[in-house]
Structure 1
Amino acid sequence: MTRTPLRTAPPGVRRLVNRLLALLVAFVVWHLFARGPGSSSGFPTPLESMESAVDLAGTSVYWSNIATSVETALLGLGLAVLVGLPVGLLIGADERARRSTQLILDFGRTVPAIALLPLFLLMFGATRSLGLVLIVVSAVWPVIIQTSYAVGEISPQLRRVGQAYHLTRWHRLRHLIAPSMLPFVFVGLRIAATISLLMAISSEFLGGSDGLGYLLLQAMQINDTHRAFVYSFTAALLGLVLNLVFVLLQRRLLWWHPSVRKGGAS
């Protein structure tokens, strides 16, 4: 039985070829849909979308609004972490606190922040504060839950090791507790980062403040499907890039963890 060149290629080359083939199939399906069922609604083809993207990339408005959305998302994420980490540590450190707050955490993480948008819009108006509040209300829950879970899962043996070697509180936190917590905390951070970007763009779209969401709203109001598609695709790319940044950071900080060494972090 003869082997094809692809079968004898290194694993990395095979993965790259498979991904390129998947992209090619996706572009073909996209083109056929745009020329067929989507033609009546003005759905753009891949080539038309690329032309619109090139045109928009040459404008300062496009990049300034992207920067606004990213800045809002990161600022809101930072606030959610500043609130969520201490609260998660306090809840996780005490068994009674974990049991008594379980209902509150379950309720808080299931309430969609968008449902509170009319109230927040009356309070803060179409400003960046509206987006920041929505981000914190949405993104703080995965940080709290994962942090409290991480503290609760710390092995009692680790605590006894620190006591046996008479380690200071700082050394126990740095060398024993933090490494055990970080894999769980990073899961919460990655979820919170995705939620932050989603809420930032949603608040701009629904509230009318500057950002990528507002550009998308303007394009839809004038029925410019080509630009609307580019803005939507840009938002998706931002989500991928943000997730990739956290994956690389996780790999760098948790290089010793089995899930990272086996490629499980991605």
Structure 2
Amino acid sequence: MTDRAAAIAAAIADQISQGTYPTGTQLPSHAALCETYGATRPTIQEALRLLHHQHLITSSQGIGTFVARTAPPTINRTPSPHREPTHPIEPPVITRVTLADIEAALLDLDPGTPAFAVSRLVMDVETRVRALHRILLPYPTAAAHDDAALTTPSTSPAELYTALARHHRRLTWWETITTRTATPDEAIALQIPRRSGHVLITTRTTRGRRDTPLLLEHTTSSATAATIAYRLTSAPTTARTKTT
């Protein structure tokens, strides 16, 4: 599974959860999806296979692909008093970027939309496991809120979520988790042994009022050292996520 296919699958799953593609409706054709996401046909097919495995879609030969009649519950989490589970190993690197096609699709924005990118190398305070953490805060999100915490790129993740919760009261998250071979730089930064050179990548979209996407997070950690646990609910009740 390539990162691009996983990101496209996450974007389509997000649209299903929002009701853009209601239960039982037909998805756009492969050609239309290729054009929408700027991807090749094999990549689109790979993304759709992942959605099949997640029981989000079904296919009828010669007819098309449809949103499944009974979709599994999504993961919903509500903000609680924030705890910093990690501490930085190095100072954050702050850059101004433009959103790529997949990032823009996850945030319901146009490709090329400017954003702050804050990248950190962090370590879990309990397990000592390292992770590469990156936040994309689009300029429209920062501009829409009169809050200093959202206009200061170096703001910590906990402070960002606290600020967003002040304005939106209830936040929800959509997450997708993929794995791939670590790049040489990732293997060095995360101290991954050569024989177990795979990383676990969590991509998380934060949503606020009226299910509006607010920011995007990527966390990359060693696949052999990370454990991600969820409490799943079929209704929008409190759930917790802990990464160690």
Which TM-score applies when normalising by structure 1? 0.24
Q: Which is bigger in relative contact order (C-alpha 8 A, separation at least 6)?
A: 1
Structure (1/2) with the larger helix percentage = 1
Structure (1/2) with the larger strand percentage = 2
